[in-house]
Amino acid sequence: MSELKRVLLAEDSAKDVELTLAALQDSHLVNEVVVARDGAEAWEYLSCTGAHANRPPVAPAVVLLDLKMPKLDGHEVLRRMRADPNLRTVPVVILTSSREERDIAQSYDFGVNAYVVKPVAFSEFISAVKNLGMFWAVLNEPPPASARKAA
Amino acid sequence: MTTVRTTIRRKLVAGMMLTSVAVLVLTGAALVVFDIVSFRRALVRALVTRAQILAANSSGALAFENPEDASQILAALKPDPSMVAAALYDQQGRVLAAYPVPAAAPARWPRKTGSGQRFEKKWLVVDQPVLEDGRWLGTLYLKSDLRALDERLRLYELVVALAIVGSSGVALALAAWLQRGIARPVRALAEAARNVSEHKDYTIRAHVVSDDELGLLAESFNEMLREIEKRDVDLRQLNADLEWRVNARTAQLEASNHELEAFSYSVSHDLRAPLRHVDGFADLLQRHARESLDDKARHYLAQISDSAQSMGRLIDDLLVFSRMGRTEMQDQRVDLNVLVEEARRVLANEAANRDIHWRVSPLPETRGDPAMLQLVFANLVSNAIKYTAGRAGAEIAIGAEQSDRETVVCVRDNGVGFDMNYSHKLFGVFQRLHSADEFEGTGIGLANVRRIVQRHGGRTWAEGEVGRGAAFFFSLPRETQGEWSERKEAA
């Protein structure tokens, strides 16, 4: 299990964290999920600084980013990741309520790998998360270790 | 400008020159005529006098018929080169003596006792009877040419020509001096007018040089300029005020637009989150407690989920509607036939397993935003499919009519129709004439149709009858691209 890399979930709403975790659990996720409650905390984890200065410098398998967060918003975290040589290739999925075109356009501008609008219906959300898991190959399956190490 | 200036000067000078030359010519001609007449008289008088003197002198010679004496007397004419011929005739008309040669005078003279003088061609001829104590002895014939007259005429010609040349010069100088008083102020005025019109500088003033009519003209011109300058300043002030007001208004509009955007973003993001939580936790509750819940409790949970989801749909629809009013519009040629085909393709699922008779007439081309107009057709066709459900022999007709000013498109069905009393509610947001149980939908479709058509500068209306069907119309103005961009700016 320690071979599996973690999944970073950056989400400021406790209820959304709970629901997302439930959805991930429902998808039989085996990876450990790290939760950051705002953009700044997510960036500290990603860049191994601040409270996470002492963690082993292993990039997460995938980052699930909310857009609207205190301190640093999702776009800023994404922008910083894409500017960082160690984090540039880490898959990022934006999980948000926003359907605004400019949000979507900007996310793709910054190099997001997927943009998921959280549907109101929970069942749809579960299937969206399931699809994500299959697509990024982080759910139920160990990631190809060699490729991750190179990243 | 230059041609006008030259013309005024030339006109003035030419007028003066013509006047002075005409006066000079007329006066000269009168003088010449008068002088020639008097000179001829003087000539005649002189020749007659000379003839009388010669005749008196030659009476002796005639009386004694002495040709030598007579010839000597006639030879006295020699110093006068104008004397062409002279002769003395005796009583019988024979030549007693002739000057300068015998052939110069007529060979015989008809016996004639009277005197007379006459102009013959270029000569003046005088016949003078020679008398002694009242007795006629013969006739003296004198013939003089008119060289004196000719010389005098030539002199006159010279003098008159010189006078004309001289006075023309004087007239020219005078005209040039005079035109300065007329043409120069006019030219200055014209110059001022040109400067004003070229540089749009209304502070320029014409120089007032005299207190005559031209001075008055210059003053009126300046007064006019003062008035224009004042109005120009006023106009600029007004424009500046207007621009300032437009800027202020634009800033306000931008601010409120910004607020609206922030609002709809917040609706999109923040309003949906609690709904998601309601549905999410209801779902989780249902999963976790499925066994311990009775049917009623499960039904309640389903109702919660259903309500949350339907509110989610309402919010989504409202967002689409608000975005429809804000997004920038394209301006393209749009083939309405393509839009109808696309709408039918998209709605193929809804029309599946339905026996619908489609009557789609060829539609014209128009200008507009294809994506938005596509939505108009999608909504109208979707409605037509929806409200003909359950009707045997459902029929949907799509057609268009064109006038000079607009294109009117109609989507007609023979479905459930509506009560015309409520037709004003049809295009409102979330207005429905049928219950949600009867026909699905949030009631945003026709509101979107109206908003899109209005943004294109058109109108929407509907006709219907309960149980007999409905017809939805929208018009699109036929216009040039210029008008379109103008309205797009304003929208």
Q: Identify any residues that bridge with B139 across adjacent strands, giving them in sequence order.
A: B89, B129
Q: Does the beta-carbon distance from A97 to B283 stay under 8 Å?
A: no
B221 is a domain residue:
no
Residues B384 and B483 in one domain: yes
Domain boundary pick from B263, B293, B326: B326
- Calculate the dihedral angle through the C-alpha atoms of B148, B149, B152, B157, rounding to the nearest 10 degrees: -140
pLDDT on residue B325: 72
Of residues A97, A121, A125, nearest to B273 (C-beta): A97
Q: Does the beta-carbon distance from B276 to A22 stay under 8 Å?
A: no
- Give the CA radius of gyration of chain B: 61
| Across B362-376, average pLDDT | 89
Residues B162 and B232 in one domain: no
A111, A80 Cβ separation under 8 angstroms: no
| % of residues, chain B, pLDDT over 70 | 94
Q: Identify any residues that bridge with A95 across adjacent strands, giving them in sequence order.
A: A116
| % of residues, chain B, pLDDT over 90 | 13
pLDDT on residue B230: 92
Q: Chain B residues with CB inside 8 Å of A121's CB?
A: 279, 305, 309, 312
CA distance B31 to B19: 18
Write out the two tokens for B199: 């540089």
B98, B85 Cβ separation under 8 angstroms: yes
Query: Are β-strands B123-132 and A62-65 bridged in parallel, bridged antiparallel, or unpaired?
Result: unpaired
Residues B427 and B459 in one domain: yes
B36 is a domain residue:
yes
pLDDT on residue B6: 59
Q: For residue range B465-475, what is the model confidence (pLDDT) as tens digits?
A: 888 889 999 99
Of residues B268, B309, B311, nearest to A99 (C-beta): B268
CA distance B366 to B476: 8
Examine the pLDDT at A146 and tell me if it is beyond 50: no
Of residues A68, A99, A118, nearest to B276 (C-beta): A118
pLDDT band at A133; cut points 50, 70, 90: low
Whole-number Cα distances in Å, B246 to B239, B249, B261, B334, B392: 10, 5, 22, 34, 58
Among chain B residues, the shortest Cα distance to A20 is held by B280
* pLDDT: which is higher, B211 or B386: B386
The residue written with tokens 């003066």 in the block is: B16
CA distance B386 to B440: 8
Q: Identify any residues that bridge with B413 across adjacent strands, giving them in sequence order.
A: B396, B470
CATH number of A7-141: 3.40.50.2300
Q: Which of B261, B263, B276 to mutate to test the interface with A (most CBs of A within 10 A)?
A: B276
* pLDDT: which is higher, B29 or A27: B29
Q: Alpha helices, DSSP H only, in B85-146?
A: none
Q: For residue range B380-439, what is the model confidence (pLDDT) as tens digits?
A: 999 899 888 878 888 999 999 988 888 999 999 998 888 888 888 888 877 777 776 677
ipTM for the complex? 0.76
Among chain B residues, the shortest Cα distance to A67 is held by B269
pLDDT band at B337; cut points 50, 70, 90: very high
A14 interface with B at CB cutoff 8 Å: no
Q: Is B448 exposed, middle or buried (0-12, 13-18, 19+ CB in 10 A)?
A: buried
How far is Cα of residue B130 from the mean position of the Cα atoms in its chain? 93
At B347, which helix (H) or strand (E)?
Answer: none
Would you list which residues of chain B are within 8 Å, Cβ to Cβ, of chain A? Answer: 265, 268-270, 272-273, 275-277, 279-284, 305, 308-309, 311-313, 316, 319
Domain boundary pick from B273, B292, B326: B326
Residues B281 and B422 in one domain: no
Q: Buried b / exposed e across B47-72, counting CB within 10 Å, b at 16+?
A: bbebbbebbebbbebbeeebeebbee
Q: Chains A and B: how many Cβ contacts under 8 Å? A: 59
B137, B59 Cβ separation under 8 angstroms: yes
B110, B119 Cβ separation under 8 angstroms: no
- Give the CA radius of gyration of chain A: 14
Of residues B280, B316, B319, nearest to A122 (C-beta): B280
Collect all residues with Cβ–Cβ distance below 8 Å to A137 and sequence separation of at least 6: A143
DSSP state of B330: P
B180 is a domain residue:
no
Whole-number Cα distances in Å, B388 to B346, B357, B416: 18, 11, 6
Q: Does the beta-carbon distance from A120 to B282 stay under 8 Å?
A: no
Domain boundary pick from B167, B187, B217: B167
pLDDT band at B157; cut points 50, 70, 90: confident
- Please state the φ and ψ torsions of residue B132, each to the nearest 5 degrees: -140, 120
B40, B144 Cβ separation under 8 angstroms: no
Of residues A99, A121, A125, nearest to B319 (C-beta): A99
Q: A78 CA to chain B: closest CA distance, Å?
A: 19
The residue written with tokens 């996720």 in the block is: A29
Sheet holding B406-413, edge to edge: B356-360, B394-402, B406-413, B469-477, B460-465
Q: Chain A residues with CB inside 8 Å of B276's CB?
A: 16, 19, 97, 118-120, 122, 125
How far is Cα of residue A48 from the mean position of the Cα atoms in its chain? 16
Q: Does the beta-carbon distance from A120 to B276 stay under 8 Å?
A: yes
Residues B298 and B353 in one domain: no
Q: B353 CA to chain A: closest CA distance, Å?
A: 27
Residues B261 and B235 in one domain: yes
Q: Please report, for the domain that includes residue B248, its CATH number.
A: 1.10.287
Secondary structure class of B443 (helix, strand, coil): coil
Q: Chain B residues with CB inside 8 Å of A100's CB?
A: 265, 268
Write out the two tokens for B287: 């999963």
B198 is a domain residue:
no
Q: Does the beta-carbon distance from A22 to B308 stay under 8 Å?
A: no
Q: Chain B residues with CB inside 8 Å of A15's CB?
A: 273, 277, 280-281
At B463, which helix (H) or strand (E)?
Answer: strand B460-465
Q: Does the beta-carbon distance from B309 to A121 stay under 8 Å?
A: yes
Secondary structure class of A72 (helix, strand, coil): coil
Q: Does the beta-carbon distance from B282 to A122 stay under 8 Å?
A: yes
- Please state the φ and ψ torsions of residue B431, each to the nearest 5 degrees: -90, 130
Examine the pLDDT at B445 and tell me if it is beyond 90: no
Q: Does the beta-carbon distance from B279 to A120 stay under 8 Å?
A: yes
The residue written with tokens 């998209």 in the block is: B346
Residues B15 and B153 in one domain: yes
Q: For residue range B136-152, what is the model confidence (pLDDT) as tens digits?
A: 888 888 888 888 888 88
Neighbours of B262 (CB within 10 A): 10
pLDDT band at B274; cut points 50, 70, 90: confident
CA distance B175 to A60: 106
Examine the pLDDT at A136 and tell me if it is beyond 70: no
pLDDT on residue A89: 84
- Domain residues for B396? 329-490
Q: Does the beta-carbon distance from A120 to B272 stay under 8 Å?
A: yes
Examine the pLDDT at A109 and tell me if it is beyond 60: yes
A117 interface with B at CB cutoff 8 Å: no
Q: B410 CA to chain A: closest CA distance, Å?
A: 32
Among chain B residues, the shortest Cα distance to A124 is held by B280
B160 is a domain residue:
yes
Average pLDDT, chain B: 84
A116 interface with B at CB cutoff 8 Å: no
pLDDT on residue B247: 93
What length does chain B have?
Answer: 491
Tell whether the torsion through CA atoms of B24, B26, B29 and B31 is positive or negative: negative
Q: Alpha helices, DSSP H only, in A34-92?
A: 39-47, 74-83
B176 is a domain residue:
no
Q: Which of B187-201, B263-277, B372-386 has the highest mean pLDDT?
A: B372-386
Q: Alpha helices, DSSP H only, in B58-146?
A: 59-63, 67-75
CA distance B112 to B139: 8
CA distance B373 to B409: 11
How far is Cα of residue A47 from the mean position of the Cα atoms in its chain? 14
Q: Chain A residues with CB inside 8 Å of B272's CB?
A: 97, 118, 120
Residues B8 and B151 in one domain: yes
Q: For residue range A11-66, what is the model confidence (pLDDT) as tens digits?
A: 988 888 998 888 888 877 777 888 998 888 899 898 888 888 888 888 888 889 98
pLDDT on residue B489: 56
Write out the two tokens for A5: 């890399």
pLDDT band at B5; cut points 50, 70, 90: low
Q: Please report, for the domain that includes residue B38, its CATH number.
A: 3.30.450.20
What length does chain A have?
Answer: 151
Q: A100 CA to chain B: closest CA distance, Å?
A: 7
Beta strand ranges found along B271-372 (DSSP E): 332-335, 356-360, 365-368
pLDDT band at B96; cut points 50, 70, 90: confident
| Across B324-338, average pLDDT | 83
Residues B253 and B145 in one domain: no
Residues B404 and B263 in one domain: no
CA distance B245 to B116: 111
Q: Which of A75-84, B163-172, B198-207, B420-429 has the highest mean pLDDT?
A: A75-84
Q: B288 CA to chain A: closest CA distance, Å?
A: 11
Average pLDDT, chain A: 80
The residues spanned by each domain of chain A are 7-141
pLDDT on residue A147: 44
DSSP state of B328: P
pLDDT on residue A148: 42
Examine the pLDDT at B118 and tell me if it is beyond 80: yes
Q: A20 CA to chain B: closest CA distance, Å?
A: 9
Write out the two tokens for B111: 């016996």
Q: Identify any residues that bridge with B30 across adjacent strands, giving them in sequence order.
A: none
pLDDT band at A151; cut points 50, 70, 90: very low
pLDDT on residue B486: 57
Q: Which of B66-80, B220-234, B260-274 has the highest mean pLDDT?
A: B220-234
Q: Is B344 exposed, middle or buried (0-12, 13-18, 19+ CB in 10 A)?
A: buried
Neighbours of A56 (CB within 10 A): 5
Put simply, the chain A residues between 40 and 99 with a CB less than 8 A from any chain B CB are 67-68, 96-99
DSSP state of A144: -
Total number of domains in chain B: 3
